[in-house]
Amino acid sequence: MENLTMTDVISDVSILDLRLIPPAAISRLRRVEKVKTVILSTANADAFMRVSRTDVRSHLIIEPDEVLSIGQIQFDDSYLSTLADQTRLVLLGHPLLDAFTVPLFLAKVRSMRVYGQIFYSRPELAAVFLSRVHRLQGQSLIMAENAVRWIGPTLLDHARLVAIERRPILSIGTITIDPDVTAGDIIRNISTLTQVGEIIGREQTVCALLSLCRRRVGTYKIATQVQPEPEVVSAQDASFRESLVSIQPASNPTVAIDL
């Protein structure tokens, strides 16, 4: 990565983590484009701001004493046990609050910045969690305790509907409704839906799914024929893509999430 030249371009990346890259290497970038979030350190933020940028939605600067977690985080005692005492935590993604021990949480978390939706099933735990949140860019959304979880792009077909067995759904990502599924199929098999993301399908089935929403943040698209497409993460050339992968911290891979 330190051998970047002025021909290097980073493009079509969901989350670009540059915290470990020295300012001199960043200054050799020619352009950054089509990136949802760029993660920077206090040491290299100024250098990155001088790089040409197109369609870069947001920048997140991590302080030296902060710990970053990316993605959908199951916020429970197992996760809390991985943190040092009095951690200053930054969450880029959606924390899922089902159950955690309050004294352990208070001992482990000093403060939090949260960039995403907070999903909770127990209001009392949500209140404790929010007591440590200094900044929230998102909403708090209630979910059912026994909800089936769909993380990432989901094709809602007959096989998936049958497996639900009238349980509530928590969905983070795009739901694409199979054209063979009817509005009646959806009403009969899903009790409630909490979702962040887009719904794609025929008008009748989209309306049926929307009618079951308990809480929702997102859009919908009416289509006669739909095909789910995974998000593509790429770089300008193969050599730079290899360098980009090599700089991602093992615990914080580049992931595709909607904020």
pLDDT (tens digit, 9 = 90+) per residue, 26-79? 998 999 999 999 999 999 999 999 999 999 999 999 999 999 999 999 999 999
Full domain range(s) for residue 83:
66-142
Residues 204 and 161 in one domain: yes
Residues 76 and 122 in one domain: yes
pLDDT of residue 146: 84
Residues 136 and 89 in one domain: yes
Residues 54 and 96 in one domain: no
List, in sequence order, every residue forming a beta bridge with 194; answer none if it has no partner: 170, 215
User: Does residue 256 sit within a domain?
Assistant: no
For 189, the enclosing helix (H) or strand (E) is: helix 183-189
Maximal C-alpha separation, the chain: 59
- The whole-chain average pLDDT of the chain stands at 85
Q: Is 218 helix (H, G, I), strand (E, B) or coil?
A: coil
Residues 94 and 111 in one domain: yes
Considering the entire predicted model, what is its pTM? 0.76
User: Does residue 259 sit within a domain?
Assistant: no
Domain tally, the chain: 3
Dump pLDDT digits (tens) for 106-159: 999 999 999 999 999 999 999 999 999 999 999 999 998 889 999 999 999 999
User: Does residue 175 sit within a domain?
Assistant: yes
CA 235 to chain CA centroid, Å, is 20
Token duo for residue 187: 């009403």
